[in-house]
Amino acid sequence: MAGKGTFAGLPWWVTWVVVPVVLLVVFGSLIASAVGFLIGLLFKVLIAVALIAGVVYLARRIKGSSSSSSRSDW
């Protein structure tokens, strides 16, 4: 593996501390925008599910109340 050969002679702290920190500094804004996009998408999905559930609840409640009154008319 080329990766093992590259980091073979270096101390452990370079591999496990410096390399991740450099990657976070370089790609930090990209990671933050991706996480922000995912959180925003999840929030919108939850709002949509709540609104649809509310409409279904109201439709069933209205349908149930109108059908019960029509039954009592008979």
pTM over 0.85: no
Question: What's the angle, vertex CA 51, arms to CA 47 and CA 52, rounded to 5?
Answer: 115
pLDDT band at 9 (very low <50, low <70, confident <90, very high): confident
The 10s digit of each residue's pLDDT in 36-57 is 999 999 999 999 999 999 999 9
Do the Cβ atoms of 34 and 28 come closer than 8 Å? Answer: no
* pLDDT at 3 (0 to 100): 63
Of 4, 7, 35, 31, residue with least CA distance to 19:
7
